[in-house]
Homo-oligomer: A and B are copies of this chain.
Amino acid sequence: MSDDLLAAFWRYEGALMANDLETLDRLFAPGPDTLRGDAAGILRGHDAISAFRKGRGGAPKREIVSVDVREIDADAAMVVAVTAPITGGRGQQTQLWRRIDGEWVVSVAHVSLPAPAVNSTVWRIVGTPLVAGADTPELASQTVAVKDLFDVAGFAVGGGVPAYLAESTPAARNAVAVQNLLDTGASVTGIARTDEFAYSVAGKNPHYGTPPNGAVPGAIPGGSSSGPASAVSLGQASIGLGTDTGGSLRVPASYQGLWGLRTTHGAVSSEGLLPLSPSFDTVGWLTREAWTMRAAATASLDLAKQVLPPTRRYAVAPGLNAQAAPGVRAAFDAAIGTLDRAELLPDLAEVELGDADELFEIFRSVQAAEAWATHGDWIEAHPGALGDDIAARFAVASRITEHEEAEARVALAAARIAIERALDGRILLLPSASSIAPSTTADAATIEQTRGSTLRLTCVAGITGRPALSVPALTVDGAPVGLCVVGPRFGDIGVITTGAKFHAALAG
């Protein structure tokens, strides 16, 4: 048996090195039970594994260092190989081979590759730490991934754009939001990726690649605070320091099952932050646990300005929720039902916040006009510096006339008043995103459609300047979606308290 098996093993190895997909497909067991796992997650079924192989364009070249065979019975054996990629390091490949219809095939595989020095899709620079925190207990042992929009003393800001980074000079001092965390004992692990100039909620950077979604293998991470979110999700930092203009903290939090807080507009200083759209730009955090979020917020907010105790009046907006996919709506409605039955929503109202398309258009126009005012000169001076998607978005922004902008600002002020009147001081509950994280292989139209629906949900916080916390409380098709707890203004600490209470009730 061993000779046959080893021949199949080496045939597989040869096919892998040659990227001979047909042979590889034949040497993996057919059917839905076949498994293949690696650092990105587990693929289940022959077809999923085959599709993965087609997509990757060949395995890393390697040599086999050792092969251990353990026979199980006449038709089953384990083969454990140590691999040596030609780029250095060692890997391991553990396979269950089974003889089916006389042919040896792999039915379970576990593949480990050597780790790179750093995951460059997630990080720009990493230290051990990069910046040490003060010797105080509040956030001691917490590690921060700083979105590449904030000044870190001694380092340049890159904004997710290599040409911008190349011209950027080291910051003289830390951004206020960075310093706040350092002052309470957290250390900065490193500077993490962002979508280009933070003008996206997808997390796909054409220059540095797409950070992995730590919760959903093969899905986009969400952006624009993509690097901090993935760093936290992957366990490479405990706090992601990011920004949220249109959803850039809430969306990656929702996609990766994290806590994500957009703070009240103006509640945390934007000093030392590369802006996008100052009317909407806010600072905030991503964490794996509610208490870490609370600690980061407490370290950074002016508590004297906070509205406490938290509001205990709630609202949902069914009209707005229609933007969400049916599965998300169902999960959201079920969660609201659970919270209501637990008497955690004592004064729940259904509210109408206005036409979602109109709200989005108002938000988008002002955001775009400000984004162009912020970056237009630089972009015009650097043709080709941006990837196609974000370049096109800025091109649209560049065509907004002064008149259109002025009209949008009037409409924005009116919308703010109308929404606050409808909410009447209530906390608004809604899904953090319109869907679970789309696949990295989703086409541009799908990503764009998802973005549009999601921004129609997220823009309410932008328009009102309210804080918004994405709570990792919903699950749709095995993937996380956030339950968003919105406002009131300067109720940041309050929404964390509320969100933690909801999370406990929904988990229990």
Contact = CB atoms under 8 A, between A and B. Distances in A.
Interface of A: 33, 35, 37-39, 41-42, 44, 66, 68, 70, 72-73, 76, 78, 80, 82, 85, 87-90, 92, 94, 96, 98, 107-108, 110, 112, 114-120, 122-128, 130, 143, 154, 170, 189-190, 208, 214, 231-238, 288
A107 B237 contact: no
Contacts of A35: 68, 70, 78, 80
Contact of A90 (B41, B96, B108): B41
Nearest to A287: B88
B117 A237 contact: yes
Contacts of A82: 37, 41-42
B118 A88 contact: no
Nearest to A215: B90
A70 B107 contact: yes
A70 B110 contact: no
Copies in the complex: 2
Contacts of A237: 117
Given A114-B235, A125-B128, A127-B124, A170 B154 contact: yes
Given A42-B80, A72-B73, A214-B89, A117 B110 contact: no
Nearest to A258: B88
Contacts of A41: 82, 90
B123 A117 contact: yes
B72 A96 contact: yes
B233 A39 contact: no
Given A110-B112, A112-B39, A70 B89 contact: no
A401 to B, nearest CB: 40
A72 B72 contact: yes
Q: Which 7 A-B pairs have the closest CB atoms?
A: A88-B235, A89-B235, A117-B236, A94-B110, A120-B128, A115-B115, A125-B127
